[in-house]
Every structure is written in structure tokens, then in C-alpha cells.
Structure 1
């Protein structure tokens, strides 16, 4: 097997082969997220064929999404690595690159929704799934486009791992079965894992992870129940597929335009705020959905929800990179998407159970809406508390010592001036002792 030549760079190139990475990630999102979201069109077919209620049928979609986010199986082997690669190749235009990459989900829904409905009518749901399976094989082409890159901040880690492997091999040659070898291997593994996942102890990441749980609970059921809800209020099958297409194409606009806008100088420092703003507006859309019971009213909903869905999806990797940095971005994104798994698994069946119990979609949609609004409020509250703490530290520093220079790293603060004064005093004392007669 030929050796893979790694592209060497000191900083993200913000272009070049990076645009091929963006193209690969774009195709990955079409083959993964778009295909799974089009399962909503299969929902009524599954329910009719298997004679099951909403809660039981919803497990089909929820298991697909859960396994994608939870394991190293299926779509998970393509989705998370492709997104992480975009973050490695772009820095200055990261939000725009992610906007283009993640727009594949919207474009896929826009194209696949009517196509899937047509395939079901022509070849039944079994034939439609078979054709979609052949389409998903294009993920192999996407993987061929991915080229590794070594960044400046990543150069220390491979060296440390090389030293660890070299020393481990020396120990194995000396005594293959010795307990020292096992202890040394465990130490190396623990050290590398501790360095790779140190972001788990960051308070900002813990808040982000908690908010993701509520956000993921809210966003999933719509793509399962939007078509059935539209059919329940008198919309035809073709019109329901058309609504999904509208949602998909507006999702594209949200991906690209929101990514471009948040890369502008005026909004560059407010990407975090834009992220929670988009989540909150999607939650408000959910609260209005039970009142929309005709096609002319559902079209504006599909436009609004689709736009802000594309907006916050684009900013998830950007906000994660802002918190943990690019060095741990791949692992952090893995954790973030892993946290989507449980809400994706339970939210559609819970929503289906509410529909079966109450006989309407109102309770299910309201629960999803409040969940997303809570996610947004949690992030906003955490950011306000953090700014208040920083302001308080600066104020205390100025009050205690006018020469105090405050350095912040989370909640850590220390004075450079005091340390320099202390060192100067020690050096003067040593000089006086050295010049004094014995």
C-alpha cells in the first residue's frame, strides 16, 4: 500500500486544497444528513405497511440518527471526520467554509424530497431505499478527497507520541512480558488521552455540551413529523414533499449567508451570540407550528425554520473551535455529535407517544420548542455570568494595585508586576550579601 503524503503547513491555508475538502464535506452531508432527514417521507409508508402507531414507527428514524452520532459505525465514520477536516484547513474564512459544507444537507433535502416521493410511487418504499443505498456509496469518493494536514499547533503531539512509542518498543524488546512494559503503555495512553480530552474540564465546553442535549432533543422530531403533520391538516403528498423541498433550499441559504455574515468584521466577535439567537428563533417557530393548518401558512414556517436551522448548524463547529481551539477540534466535535445521540434516540418516540396519547401534534411541538429555547437561554446566561466574573476581576485588580496587570485564563489571574518586583528585591539582597565583607 502506498504511503500517504501529509501536507505540511504552519497555519490553515484558507484555500487551495481546502476547497476540495469543502466539496468532500458538502457531498458527505448530502449522503448522510439529507438522506436521513428524507426518512420523514417514508414515515407514512412504514406506518401503513407495518400497521404501527406513531411512537413505534418513529424508532426507525431515531435509531438511524442515534447510531450516526453515538458509534463509530456507518455514517459516523464519514460525518464527524469530514467536518473536522474543514476546521483544519480554514481559519479566517472558517464560518463561510462551514456554511458551504453544511449546505449539502439543505440541497440534498431540496433535491431528494420530491425524488424520493417519486421513487416510492414508482418502485415502492423498498425500491426507493435500494436506490438511495446506491447513491450513498458516493461516500467512498468523498473519502478519497480527504488529505491530512499538519498544523503548527499539532506538531508537538506527534513527537511526544513518537517518543512514547519508541520507548515502549525498547521496553518490549528488553522484556516482552514484564509488568513494567504494561505500566509504561498505560501511562502513555493515559497521558495522550488526558491531553486530547482536556477540554472536557472546561466550564464553557460543559455548558455548550448541556445546551446541545436540549437543542438536539428539539430539532430532530420536525424532520420525522413534518410530512405527517402536513398530511393531517389536508395537504397532499406532493405538496408535503414540496414543503420539505422548501425547507431544504432555505436551509442552504441559511448555511451560506449566515456563515458569510458571521465572518464579517462586525459580527466576527459575536458568532456565539448569533448561534444562540438562531436556536432560540427555531424554538419560537416550533411554538407557532400548531396554529398553522394550511399550505399557505406552512410555507412561511418552512422558510423561517429552515433558514435558522441552517444558521445554527453552520455555527456548531465554529463555536466549538472558539471554545477548545483547532488542536482538539476533532475530538471536541466527536463529543458534541456524540451528545446528539441520546436526544435523537428518544425525542421522536416521545413525540410519537404524545401524538398517540393526545391525538394531536400540539404537545409534541410545544415540548420541542421549549427545549430549544431553554438551550439558547442556558448559553446566554452562561456567557453573561462569565463576562460579569471577568469585569469583577478587572475591577478588583485595579482597586488593589494600580500597577497590577491582569492576565485571564478562565478564572485564573496573577500579577506580573508583583513577581518582577519580588525578583528585583531578591537580586538586590543577593548583591548586597555578595559585596559585604566576610
Structure 2
């Protein structure tokens, strides 16, 4: 393990960004593109769509609820072996699914086994990335998460091509082989030991501190509300436009617009987050507010051009809030608690994502349209943005310090780091490569 006083803000960290890019593609790119297998499963097992849809739902639930396990293991053993083990489980689940004889078999193989593998890969990788960056953390996170958008474009037609030539069983075997590349992603994770690590304790001590940490609990509540409304357009936008009389193909095209705008928003937000002064939570509140407004206004748009414009705004702002959401956490709990903090955050906020879509569907059944669904989804994001206003230091430092103050602050920081380095080296041996 490499030992340092503070995050290097680059160096091997860019290799970790590359690892996170491919890891996010191999986890969420596969999940978002897995719908091409649905019709095959329905025909093969003669089951309704509702039961088949549980395959992906179980996988997502296991990935999110299992995140604290991946975090705790990474705190104890480092992210490299944990992510590599997750890659083996993800591939094993897909391989066993290719021999499925019932939906229960698919629930256990893809949902439980592959879902457990995904739980061991995503959170440890992002936490490791956060430890390598401080000033450029938002940009690094934004670049890493672009893998989700790009893979969503590529994997859906690629999986369909595999099904055409190799049938669904052969396609699942090849997806299993693709998932094995998560081992390479894990091997690239070089753990760091930072100065504050000895003071944060083990996984249970960190968890206890986090459960008594007021700002962390408020932040978790805010992101849970954001998560409750965030995914509604992915679930119901196409159905909403078809209620308006759109043809299926133009309706589906709107999701492509969302994906492109989402990709651009992630990169822009990451860049902006690193050059703007002040707490990153301020930018997260802004992007969450704009996303909520775009969602709430969607039912008002009746003209195709206006609706397309709102969809682009939603995609851009929804993509923009993602990298800064992960960048706020180290500022709240400290980089030494990032593994436990990120795992606990994903566990709690997953309830919003799981309950948001069913609530939206219930409102559609109750009212006969998606107007209430989108308005309530927007209200969730607006409520989350308001809670973010209560985070420490949110309203401080609205203006750039003068050049004299910047120079004074820089000298003070350099002196502090030098002192920390000297004290740190007295108690820790020379840095060693892993």
C-alpha cells in the first residue's frame, strides 16, 4: 500500500479514473441494456413481463443494499481484492444464468450472484478514486461516470447482435466473459494510506460515527429524496409521450436525447465543480433544483419542440448532479471515512430509487395521466435541494478571496502539510509500492 500525507490529485489516480470508467460501464451499462433479453426470457419460460422484470430489479436492489459490505471489506482488505472478487461473482452469475431452466434460476444467478458482484465493485472503486483526488475530484468523478452513458449506447445493439447469432444462452456466456474484465479494473486499483486513516478507526467505529453525524444524515436524506424522483423519466417518459399521441419511435428517441445530454452534463459539471470556489454542495443544490423544475414542467409541455427542450434540460442537469453528489461526501465525513460513508449512503438512498417508480405508477393509475407523477417527482428533487441548504458552510465564501488572502492561505497550507509530513514520517516506515 502506498503511504502519503494527502491525496496526490493525479498521478496513478488517472489510471484509477480509467478503471472506474470501464467498471461503471461493465456494471450499469449492462444493467441499463439488459432489457434486450426480456422478450427472450418471456418466450423461453412463458412468463409475463411483470415477473421477468424482477430479474433486473433484484440485481439493482442487491447491488445497492450490498454496498456497505463492499465498503467494509475494502476498509479491511483494500479495494483491489474486493473488486476482483466482485468481478468473479458478476461473471459467475451470468454464466450460471445461461443454463437457466426457470425464472427462479435467473433470480438467483443474475439477481443475487451477479448483483452481489456488482455490490463489491462500484462503491469501492468510486471510494478509491475519491482518495486520489482533492482539487480535481469532481472532474475525475465526472469522467469516470461517463462510462455509463457511452456503454448504454453500445451495449444494447451489441447484446441484440449476440442474441441474433448465438441465442440468449450463448449471449449470456459472452456477457459473462465481458464481465470478467472487472478483474482487470480491480487490479488497477492501487490503495493509498492517507494521514487521517489511523484516526478514523475500523468499519464498525466509522459506522457508529456516521450514524451520529448530523450533516451526513441530512445529506443522506436529501439524496434519498433526489433518488426518488431522478429515475422517473427513464421509466415513464415514453409512456407519457404515447399518451400524448406520439408514435413509439419518436418517443424512444427522447431517451436517446436524455442519454446524450446526460453525458455532456457529467463532463461539464465535473469541470465546473473543480474551478468554482466554495462548497461543492452548493452546485449539487443548484443542479438538483434545476432537475426538479424540469421534471415538474414536463406535463405542461404539449408542443413537441418544447417537450424535447425540457427533456434535454432534464438530461443535462440530471447528469450534472451525479459527479458532484459523490464529491460532496468527502467534504462532509473526511476522506478517511469515504468507504463506509459511500456504502451507507448507497444503502439508504436506494430506498428512494426503489419506491419512486412504483409511486409514480400508482399516481398514473389513480389520476389517468402522468401529470401528477412528474410533478411529484420534481417535488422530491426540489425538497432534496432545500435540505442541502442546511449543510455546513453552504452560505459561506460566496466571493473569491483576494490575491493577498489566497497567497497567505497557500503559505499556511504548505507549512501545515510540511509539519504533518514530518510528524507522519516519524511513526510510519518509508513508502512502499504494493
TM, length-normalised to structure 2: 0.70
- Distance in structure 1 (CA, Å) of the matches to 2:165 and 2:290: 38
Select 2:30's aligned residue among 31, 35, 57: 35
Please report how far the alpha carbon of residue 90 of structure 1 lies from its aligned counterpart in structure 2 after TM superposition: 0.8
Residue in 1 that maps onto 2:17 = 22
Q: 1:233 to 1:29 in 2, by over 3 A?
A: farther
Check if 1:259 corresponds to 2:278: no
| Runs (5+) with no aligned partner, structure 2 | 70-115, 397-434
Residue in 1 that maps onto 2:258 = 247
Q: Is the 8 A contact 1:11 1:151 kept in 2?
A: yes
> What is the SS of the residue equivalent to 2:134?
coil
Equivalent residues in 2 for 1:52-67, closer than 5 Å: 59-67=54-62
Q: 1:109 to 1:289 in 2, by over 3 A?
A: farther
- Distance in structure 1 (CA, Å) of the matches to 2:180 and 2:305: 37
> What is the SS of the residue equivalent to 1:146?
coil
Check if 1:306 corresponds to 2:315: yes
Q: Is the 8 A contact 1:9 1:149 kept in 2?
A: yes
| Runs (5+) with no aligned partner, structure 1 | 1-5, 162-191, 389-438
The farther-off stretch of 69-78 and 222-231 is: 222-231
Please report how far the alpha carbon of residue 305 of structure 1 lies from its aligned counterpart in structure 2 after TM superposition: 1.4
Check if 1:219 corresponds to 2:230: yes
- Distance in structure 1 (CA, Å) of the matches to 2:298 and 2:38: 19
> What is the SS of the residue equivalent to 1:309?
helix
> What is the SS of the residue equivalent to 1:147?
coil
Q: Is the 8 A contact 1:96 1:259 kept in 2?
A: yes
Q: 1:367 to 1:117 in 2, by over 3 A?
A: farther
Q: 1:259 to 1:354 in 2, by over 3 A?
A: same
Q: Is the 8 A contact 1:8 1:150 kept in 2?
A: yes
Q: 1:41 to 1:126 in 2, by over 3 A?
A: same
- Distance in structure 2 (CA, Å) of the matches to 1:285 and 1:124: 41
State the superposition RMSD in angstroms.
3.3
- Distance in structure 1 (CA, Å) of the matches to 2:120 and 2:55: 20
Select 1:70's aligned residue among 65, 74, 77: 65
- Distance in structure 1 (CA, Å) of the matches to 2:127 and 2:335: 9
Residue in 1 that maps onto 2:8 = 13
- Distance in structure 2 (CA, Å) of the matches to 1:7 and 1:219: 38
> What is the SS of the residue equivalent to 2:121?
helix
- Distance in structure 2 (CA, Å) of the matches to 1:224 and 1:47: 20
> What is the SS of the residue equivalent to 1:263?
helix
Q: Is the 8 A contact 1:108 1:248 kept in 2?
A: no
Check if 1:209 corresponds to 2:252: no
- Distance in structure 1 (CA, Å) of the matches to 2:371 and 2:175: 32
Q: Give the aligned length.
A: 346
**Structure number with larger C-alpha Rg:** 1
Select 1:326's aligned residue among 325, 329, 335: 335
Residue in 2 that maps onto 1:411 = none
TM, length-normalised to structure 1: 0.69
Select 1:368's aligned residue among 374, 377, 380: 377
Q: 1:376 to 1:117 in 2, by over 3 A?
A: farther
Equivalent residues in 2 for 1:99-110, closer than 5 Å: 99-110=142-153
Residue in 2 that maps onto 1:84 = 127
Q: Is the 8 A contact 1:279 1:376 kept in 2?
A: yes
Residue in 2 that maps onto 1:171 = none
Equivalent residues in 2 for 1:40-55, closer than 5 Å: 50-51=47-48
Residue in 1 that maps onto 2:76 = none
Give a deviation string over 1:21-75, Cα, whole Å, max 9, x none. Answer: 001111111122233334567779989974457xx77655543332211124231
- Distance in structure 2 (CA, Å) of the matches to 1:354 and 1:138: 41
- Distance in structure 2 (CA, Å) of the matches to 1:81 and 1:151: 16
> What is the SS of the residue equivalent to 2:135?
coil
- Distance in structure 1 (CA, Å) of the matches to 2:240 and 2:173: 26
Q: 1:283 to 1:50 in 2, by over 3 A?
A: farther
Residue in 1 that maps onto 2:101 = none
Q: Is the 8 A contact 2:216 2:332 kept in 1?
A: yes
